[in-house]
Amino acid sequence: MLIHITIVVTGKVQGVGFRYSAKRAALEHTIHGFVKNLDDGSVYIEAEGTQENIDTYIIWCKSGPRYALVKDIAITKGEVKHFTSFDILG
């Protein structure tokens, strides 16, 4: 069963390759959705997958790529949108 979550990651998460690493991690964990930078310096992710894959992806998001410094992540559940890929937006 698919679930949908929204993740907002705060900290030093822009300019450190977070979006590209988030896409790589999503593909490794069979997650579909998208990632984008927000104007406030945070990163916004919509992710869909099985509960197990989402749980593993959330663990990755809590640390991010090598040069990121994740301060906090906020997770919200939502309705499944049936994404078919994982994209990097704006």
What pairing do the DSSP bridges indicate for beta strands 43-49 and 32-37? Answer: antiparallel
Helix (H, G, I), strand (E, B) or coil at 10: strand
Per annotation, catalytic residue among 24, 37, 53, 66: 37
Closest CA to 21 of 79, 68, 83, 72: 68
Cα 87 to Cα 1: distance, rounded to the nearest angstrom: 22
Task: State yes or no: is 19 an active-site residue.
Answer: yes
Per annotation, catalytic residue among 19, 24, 53, 66: 19
| Residue that has been written with the tokens 């949108």 in this structure | 81
Task: State yes or no: is 53 an active-site residue.
Answer: no
Q: What are phi and psi of 74, to 5 degrees?
A: -115, 130
Indicate which residues carry an active-site annotation: 19, 37
